[in-house]
Amino acid sequence: MSYKVRITDAAIRDIEKAEDYIDFILMNSEAAERLVDDTETTIRSLSVAPKAYPYVSDPVLASWSIRFEKIRNYILFFLVDDEQSTVYVVRFLHERQDWSRILREETDLEI
């Protein structure tokens, strides 16, 4: 089964923010480019086998069917909608952020 992949506005902003931070604050444009390339590769892979990725460790978020993939120091969070054959990338957060709180309180999961 092939899935469509949709990226939320919040996830796009997260990716752009991470890229800008690495590029302009850390002054490492090569690392920023590698992060974006790895993220794009992972997002493309979601169309083929999104259920190969695990649910998050937080029990409440796992009950909401949120899956993840670690990409360097960041985590890509997504939902799989089998009825619509669609994967929704909902957030892209640094591993040291309080991602559990952000996903619970600051992320619109009504897709």
User: Alpha-carbon distance 92 to 74, whole Å?
Assistant: 7
Q: Which of 47, 19, 20 is nearest to 34 (CA)?
A: 19
pLDDT in tens, the chain (111 residues): 799 999 999 999 999 999 999 999 999 999 999 999 999 999 999 999 999 999 999 999 999 999 999 999 999 999 999 999 999 999 999 999 999 999 999 888 776
pLDDT value at residue 108 = 83
Tens of pLDDT, residues 39-51: 999 999 999 999 9
DSSP alpha helix (H) spans, the chain: 9-20, 29-45, 59-63, 99-105
> What is the chain's Cα-based Rg?
14
pLDDT value at residue 111 = 67
Instruction: Return the CATH fold of 4-105.
Output: YaeB-like fold (3.30.2310)
Direct distance between the N- and C-terminal alpha carbons of the chain, in angstroms, rounded to an integer: 20
